[in-house]
Chain A
Amino acid sequence: MSFFETKHLTKSFGGLIAVNDLSFQVEKGEIYGLIGPNGSGKTTVFNLITGFYPITSGDVLFRGDRLNGIPTWKICKMGVGRTFQVVKPLRRMTVLDNVVTSAFNHTGDHHVAEKKAIEVLEFCELIKKRDFPAKGLTIGDRKRLEIARALATGPELLLLDETMAGLTPQEQAEGVELIRKIRDSGITIIIVEHIMQVIMKICDRILCINYGQEIASGYPAEVANNEAVIEAYLGKE
């Protein structure tokens, strides 16, 4: 039994099949990359895993439990955290309060939640901005806040949706460090990313999809040299 797997996962919006018969397994402690051209269905896969969209057919299994039909908030409680591609800070709350809210996931005690939130902010190097209103953050810090908020829920599996998009090379390097640190703390990661340097650097294995279907999977070097992948990204020669 894999730590996490999807079996024949399919999602159709009316006539459009966004995710088509997608099966993959993620082992505990891995950083698993999910790549594909724009509109290939990567974010939809995340939305299916977290129960945000109902699954058309197929299964999502997390530590052997079937996640189909379970509401989003319960899936979070079971240990699946996620960040949003389009960052969604709780705008009129401070950075600290954003993370405290998440940290209430497994406790009702304010002190415990705040302690956890401060730990997470230190881990994500956002602690200096703790009293800033979330709406005033730069894009780099907003992406960090997304990660911090997801981490504070205490996930075992973390879904990162394009956390590097729009960042400077310097910020990207820091982001890679942060993701490695998260993995080293024992959290399994599935990452959607467009920036190939990032993906190639940090992923243990990669799945490439297009039109919601698997076109290649394996170790980063294998996938990067796969003809179907090159074709999907760059077109035919």
Chain B
Amino acid sequence: MKSSLWPFLIVLALIALFPVAVTSEYYRHIFIISLMWVVIGSSWNLLAGYTGQVSFGHAIFFGTGAYTAGLCMTKLGISAWWGMLLGGPISLLVGLVIGWICFRLRGPYFALATIAIGEIFRLVTTDWRSLTEGMEGILIIQTFRSKLPYYYLAFGLAILCTFGIYRVMKSKWGYYFVAIREDQDVAEHIGISAFRYKSLSLMISSFFTGTAGAFYMNYMAFIDPHVVFSLHDISIMAILVAIIGGVGTMWGPAVGAFIMVWLQETFRSAFFGLMPRWVSEAHVLVFGLLVIFVIRYLANGIIGDWPKIKRLWSKDRELSYSSSGN
């Protein structure tokens, strides 16, 4: 499965050069958000795709990171950029506590617990006005007018996160994560503390997701609980990014992030104004259909089922149909 490094470096170079070539602030913005979702999707994938612990609550970590940055400004009177350093560790601590509570549960029960805790975070931050300003949200002043610093920051964060996870997955921890996903009982019998390694996976995942949240605060300059603790727009989106790209694949979430952000934006803007306004309301429906399609025909996502997709484009279509029914 060793592939040449070149196509990969070319993609990296293209992303690095993109904002130099494209001066449109709008497209730069789309890329910045996509790169942020690379981080969140890859983090979710580490916990759910590789370790088998499906989370419906990654908004908890995203929101915690975002609010850490916001509160640095409003409560501590220091720059929200401190959140880029503090958001990750504080989300990690939140992850540690959540893991301590929830990793006694397995499979769907764990997933349900994460939904519940995610909603608790959203409701508490909405009502705890003295701390969070509630639904008025937190507004800061953007440091940079240009999008370029944000672009390269998001790019750097995406590289750090994906390569960090890549390194982890090549190590003992990576083997242990996958073993737990495949069979937790076997894992225990070959010397793996499932609880400890699930917690480690969650800590790495929540660290990067929290850092992405802190970046979001600094970049967007406005947050409120319904934006950053959103079940649909953050927690479910994280899952969609990974499913579309490929759960349990190294680069799937990165590809999924660009596709999902682009799709979301296309619908939000009603096909860039070409379609009637009501189309923008339909994006949830389209996401649903997309997930059904991917699960039915590309269960391993675009990256996971790439050989299958390639075969569809090649001449021997019939061959691919006959062999795809496994």
Contact = CB atoms under 8 A, between A and B. Distances in A.
A102 B176 CA distance: 9
A73 B182 contact: no
A74 B172 CA distance: 17
A42 to B, nearest CB: 17
B190 A105 contact: yes
- Say what secondary structure dominates the interface of chain B: helix
Interface string A185-219: 00000000000000000000000000000000000
A101 B183 contact: no
Contact of B171 (A76, A105, A110, A150): A110
Interface string B141-171: 0000000000000000000000000000011
A93 interface: yes
A101 B176 contact: yes
Please indicate which of the listed interface residues A74, A90, A93, A105 has the most CB atoms of chain B within 10 Å of its own CB: A90
A7 interface: no
Interface in A33-65: 50, 52
B193 A73 contact: yes
A71 B188 contact: yes
Given A110-B172, A113-B172, A102 B182 contact: no
A36 B193 CA distance: 32
Contact of B175 (A74, A91, A101): A101
B170 A110 contact: yes
B186 A104 contact: no
Given A84-B186, A93-B178, A105 B170 contact: no
Interface residues of A, number: 30
Interface string B37-63: 000000000000000000000000000
B188 A149 contact: no
A73 B171 contact: no
A76 B189 contact: yes
A84 B182 CA distance: 15
Contacts of A181: none
B192 interface: yes
Contacts of B170: 110
A77 interface: yes
Interface in A95-109: 97, 100-102, 104-105, 107-108
B183 A88 contact: yes
Contacts of A90: 178-179, 182-183, 186
Interface string B66-104: 000000000000000000000000000000000000000
Interface of B: 170-172, 175-176, 178-179, 182-183, 185-194, 248
30 contacts: A71-B188, A71-B193, A73-B188, A73-B189, A73-B191, A73-B194, A76-B188, A76-B190, A76-B191, A81-B190, A84-B186, A88-B185, A88-B186, A90-B183, A92-B182, A92-B248, A93-B178, A93-B179, A97-B175, A97-B178, A100-B175, A101-B176, A101-B178, A102-B190, A102-B191, A104-B175, A110-B170, A110-B171, A152-B190, A153-B190
Which 7 residue pairs are nearest across A and B when measured between Cβ atoms? Answer: A90-B182, A105-B191, A76-B191, A72-B188, A102-B190, A101-B175, A104-B172
